[in-house]
Amino acid sequence: MQKFLAHQSDRKLKRNESLVNYIYAKDALLEKAPFTIPQSNNISMIIGDITEEKRQIALVTQNYSTVEELIDRATAIDAIRNMQHEKKSLYSYVSRSLPTFQ
C-alpha cells in the first residue's frame, strides 16, 4: 500500500499540461490501486499533487463529490487559461508587427 501511494504521488501536473488531461491520467493511475480508495481521497490526492498554486487554489475553492465534477471545473479553468494565453500571444504578435517611430 505504501509503495503504491509513494508511486502515485510521483505523478504531478506538468508545466504545460491541461488540468483535464492531468486529472484523467491521475485518476486512471489511482484506479489501478491494489486496494479501494474512497472517491473523496482520490480527489484529495489529485488536487494535492498539483504544484502550481494558482491552479490548485482554483480547484480547492469548491467541494466535489466525484472526479467527474472535478473534471467539469478543470475544463472551465483550462478554457480560461487558454484564452489568457491566446490573448498574450496576440498582444505579443501585434507589438512585434507594429512599426516603430523614432
- The mean pLDDT of 10-34, rounded to a whole number, is 95
pLDDT of residue 86: 80
pLDDT for residue 96 is more than 80: no
What cell was used for 14? Answer: 506538468
Tell me the pTM.
Answer: 0.80
- Whether 46 contacts 23, CB under 8 Å: yes
pLDDT of residue 30: 96
Whole-angstrom CA distances from 8 to 2, 38, 77, 90 are 10, 15, 24, 38
Element (H, E) at 7: helix 2-8
pLDDT for residue 31 is more than 90: yes
